[in-house]
Structure 1
């Protein structure tokens, strides 16, 4: 997948993370501030509008009560009350007036300027009680009766009702004023504030988007740089501008990248030096080893004629020379893998014939049971497959128990070769390390006939085919099981070409001789 496609996939993921959180936080703060400001503004305006309307109506009503109702006789007739109520209402058309007079005890006279709008039933009982209640005269109270009011609703419509009575005798008056117009004005104000809140929310989202873009652009560049650095592009650097925290972060990243690049270069140089040393040493050792091998072959042919006191020493020299030769060849093979110069030479191989040839070349026919059908074809490097099989089967024969069973089967485009023995199995603490180089399962066995590299080389040969090897113990506890998985066609595997092999000079039997079959297996049991 291309980097552009990856960025296209990751773009919505980035939107749902920091960018979205910034927008949500900005919007939440703006919404809280706008709602709070709108609520306070609405409450203040509501109180101001209602208080102004209420004070104006009650002041006019008090003045009318003093000028008109107080001028009535102590026991006015109904007509006199009606005329006074209508005059008071006509003086201010915004409200209705109700007057209550007294002719005889318990026989009140009730008149209203607008009987369809305001009757005595519209006056709350608690307001009438407060208006009729005589207050004690004292230092803090100069009059026995006061003006009382309250705001209430009737059929969902708000209105103001107030009342008072004439001091010294006379009618009791009540005023009724609708507050519907004020409610409509306040509703309009509420809608205006709601629209302002919505606009503030949209504006905050746009500001948050702009702020998020400003903040996240350097973060995105940092993420891209870190991704490139993780991909091995150690020369990646960020352009630093400004003196803020993001600029300081970019400087820190550049310093870290430079330090990492230097350390990797130093490690690569040391690794290359070590690899070159091993390769040069191996090549240099091959010349004297060739001479030593020739001499040991002569000595081995003459060992039966030598003095019995000398023969053991000759046999030791012969075996150790061969062991040293195997070690040198293995080291050369390892350096090829480390340097990336190992190559595949693929060919159409009958896997059953290849396994049979590996077993027959090492005289293992009596110790190995083969379960493989002829005709299972695969495009593999036969020499490298032979190295893998020799190490796995030799390891099973040396550390496992006979018979060793080798089975071959194709599964879903893969080739599975299973090597099973009947030995004690592999200790659990050793299993993760069986393919490590020079790993020894027991510190008390630092020496063995093998080089300690066999299974590691087998794994490298599997990897270069595009496959792998796994090691485990048999579920029934009877021995260990190594499973080799290879693709049926390794033509497209890494480092594959058809022009020969860089290690062909090692000879066709490199890694397949009888001594090499135990490479690395001494550390597996």
Structure 2
């Protein structure tokens, strides 16, 4: 279960990082932003509508009152003037009209008895002048319209809002019906503009307060929503660390409560499944270990007998009947194969149980490779490219197992010559074993280190046990190293072994683990 727990820890670390980003930079931020945007949109819309309605109401009310008063003054005062008044009469009447309740400036325009255009201004020489009236308004006021059933008057009252030097004004004009002066009025709307500006500031402040309130509400809502999510993330992390008894406290009937119940059911099912798998795995390992130990006793006796038979085969006296010699040789070969298989199974059980330990020594790598090749009579089939003096602190027995499996595999499947090269760096030793065979098929490469894997399904039974490369990889891992399989561009397969120059730290960890278990 060691590898599975490592996977759990890796998943847990990634999950914690993901939940941290989700909590602090993603979901919380999005909730606050969404709440803020909704509040801002609503507040701006409401403020805009309120401002527009108030603006129209204020301007319409003021404008209506001023125009009614001006129209009334034109009828009562300007309408009482003669058809061709003098300038003094116009001036006096304009002053009277300007003193109405609305307090606007007045300009009267007419022709005197001589046909000369005269003006009457309520503000004197520097008051309201004809130039202050937009040309389009003057044209509309002086344009005589046809009298019809729907239009009973040739002249009408026209008005326009203008801005002069930053100050808004209401300008209006009309002509006395039946002959008489033309009157123009100008009323400053600055008080109303100030009132509307104050209203705009008030609505802006209200919008800002609404936005702040929405942000606080979003923060509270995000905390309420994310707290269960955070608890779920913590529980998932604990579950990923292998604490399969982790459960969430469930309260309520909302979607988060349903999610918590689903998590609890999943965790319970996972705990049961892992417990079942662990029990089966333990039973399987125990079976293999027990079987290997049980086989060793009869296998030792059989091995002793086969050694005697093998000596008889090699004897010059011809002690074995030629008729049974092939059978005897088969028994000897299969006994050796069975012996190797049992030894490999016992080694595998030690790795699975986590009891395999390093016994370190200072090793000259070139001497170790030479000894491995010489012990197996491979000198003529292996080309060694290694300088003496490359030292590393490793387990010599396990290094010999790795080399024997890699070189033996190359000789068996790739054929000689097999080239073994060694190079070093500051912190590791790299050993490459290359053969000159057809290489490894691409679909086989991912599985070469799998236990009992055979590249050819048509040859399920071969001289090998299918455990050699797997055991070699485990021995590399226990040193803190690695083995990689690939195909050489020049042809043939290449197995690259990387080992640290000093595996003392891993050996100490194994020793401390043994003490802790004891």
Q: TM-score, normalised by structure 1?
A: 0.90
* Alignment correspondent of 2:4: none
Aligned to 2:67: 58
Q: Could you say which residue in structure 2 is the equivalent of 1:80?
A: 89
Q: 1:497 to 1:252 in 2, by over 3 A?
A: closer
Q: How does 1:119-158 map to 2 (within 5 A)?
A: 119-158=129-168
Tell me, yes or no, if the aligned pair for 1:343 and 1:495 is still in contact at 8 Å.
no
1:256-267 pair list within 5 angstroms: 256-267=266-277
Per-residue CA deviations over 1:430-476 (Å, capped at 9, x if unaligned) read: 21111111111112212211111111110111111111101111121
Aligned to 2:23: 14
Encode CA deviations 1:404-450: one digit per residue, 9 max, x unaligned: 22122212301111111222222222211111111111122122111
Partner residue, 2:192: 182
- 2:85 aligned with 1:71, yes or no? no
Task: Verify: 1:233 aligned to 2:246, yes or no.
Answer: no
Query: Moved runs in structure 1, 4+ residues, more than 6 A?
Result: 1-10
| Partner in structure 1 of residue 33 of structure 2 | 24
Q: How does 1:348-367 map to 2 (within 5 A)?
A: 348-367=362-381
Moved more, 88-97 or 193-202: 88-97
Closer, same or farther in 2 for the Cα pair 1:12/1:299, shift >3 Å? closer
Report the alpha carbon displacement of residue 126 of structure 1 after superposing the two structures with TM.
2.5
Counterparts in 2 of 1:346 and 1:239: CA distance versus 1, 3 Å: same
Mapped to 2, the partners of 1:55 and 1:93 lie a distance apart of 11
RMSD: 2.4
Q: How far did residue 4 of structure 1 move?
A: 11
Corresponding residue for residue 331 of structure 2:
317
Using the alignment, how far apart are the partners of 2:100 and 2:43 within structure 1?
43
Cα distance in 2 for partners of 1:355, 1:105 equals: 135
Instruction: Verify: 1:89 aligned to 2:102, yes or no.
Output: no
TM-score (norm 2): 0.91
**In the alignment, what sits opposite 1:510?**
none
CA distance change for structure 1 residues 423 and 105 in 2, over 3 Å: closer, same or farther? farther
8 Å contact kept, 1:342–1:495: no
Give 5+ residue unaligned stretches, structure 2. Answer: 1-8
The aligned counterpart of 1:519 is: none
- Judged with a 3 Å threshold, the aligned counterparts in structure 2 of structure 1 residues 494 and 436 are, in CA distance, closer, same or farther, namely farther
Change in 2 beyond 3 A, CA 1:106/1:460? farther
Q: Secondary structure at the match of 2:486?
A: strand
How do residues 410-489 of structure 1 correspond to structure 2 at under 5 angstroms?
410-477=424-491, 479-489=492-502
| 1:378 maps to 2:388 | no
Offset at 1:156?
A: 3.2
SS in 1 for 2:160: strand
- 2:92–2:120 CA contact under 8 A, matched in 1: no
Which of 106, 118, 125 in structure 2 is aligned with 1:109?
Answer: 118
CA distance in 2, matches of 1:131, 1:423: 109
For residue 162 of structure 1, give the secondary structure of its aligned residue in structure 2: strand
Structure 2 match to 1:299: 309
Structure 1 unaligned blocks of 5 or more: 502-525
Once residues 495 and 118 of structure 2 are traced to their aligned partners in structure 1, the CA distance between those partners, rounded to angstroms, is 116
